[in-house]
């Protein structure tokens, strides 16, 4: 018994192991066309871990360095919009367990993402007006920016972050 190796050229023409075109069936009707092999790698399943960044009164009791924020890991459903999902987790604030661990947020409740795009390494995030409501003081503003920026910069496609409120990136989050 002699084995016959058959494969197809990109145009679909069958080729034998000697490089010459060959038949795809034997004289008795047996199909010699090889079974197709899956070309796509299956997508991973299960939750995805992302980091959200908060202040932490236990790690930094004096909170003297306002730009210093600390990661908390959240598990989210897998999504193509992972940066958006991470920000949505950030805007939920610390969980009860995270609060017990000292995590705090400077971000007002109710903030919504109006638009998020990553263009040439810069995340352009437009947020609802709740972000800027009753916000004052250099330390508070610095912490808000750090929380959003570090949450987005965990992703390899993000090198910088531009924050806007209702389309305005000028004169927002001012002390």
Segment 68-127, tens digit of pLDDT: 999 999 999 999 999 999 999 999 999 999 999 999 999 999 999 999 999 999 999 999
Q: With 0.95 as the threshold, say if the pTM is over it.
A: no
In terms of pLDDT, which residue wins out, 134 or 89? 89
Residue 145 token pair: 């920016």
Where are the extended beta strands (E) located within the chain?
A: 6-8, 14-16, 48-56, 70-76, 103-104, 113-119, 122-127, 160-165
Q: What is the mean pLDDT of the chain?
A: 81
Residue 13 has pLDDT above 50, yes or no: no
Backbone angles phi, psi at 86, to 5 degrees: -65, -45
Span 138-148, average pLDDT: 91
Query: What is the CB-side half-sphere exposure of residue 48 using CA atoms within 13 A?
Result: 17
Where are the extended beta strands (E) located within 79-127?
A: 103-104, 113-119, 122-127
Q: Are 139 and 66 in contact (CB under 8 A)?
A: yes
């Amino acid at each position: 018994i002699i084995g016959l190796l058959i494969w197809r050229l990109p145009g679909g023409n069958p080729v034998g192991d000697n490089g010459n075109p060959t038949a795809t069936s034997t004289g008795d009707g047996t199909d010699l066309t090889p079974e197709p092999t899956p070309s796509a790698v299956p997508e991973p399943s299960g939750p995805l871990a992302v980091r959200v960044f908060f202040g932490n009164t236990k790690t930094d009791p004096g909170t003297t360095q306002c730009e210093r924020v600390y990661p908390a890991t959240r598990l989210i459903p897998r999504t193509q919009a992972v940066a958006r999902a991470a920000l949505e987790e950030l805007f939920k604030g610390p969980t009860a367990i995270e609060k017990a661990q000292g995590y705090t947020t400077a971000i007002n409740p109710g903030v919504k993402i109006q638009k998020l795009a990553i263009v040439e390494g810069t995340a352009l995030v437009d947020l609802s007006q709740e972000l800027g409501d009753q916000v004052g003081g250099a330390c508070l503003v610095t912490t808000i920016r750090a929380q959003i920026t570090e949450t987005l910069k965990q992703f390899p496609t993000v090198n910088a972050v531009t924050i806007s409120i209702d389309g305005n990136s000028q004169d927002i989050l001012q002390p």
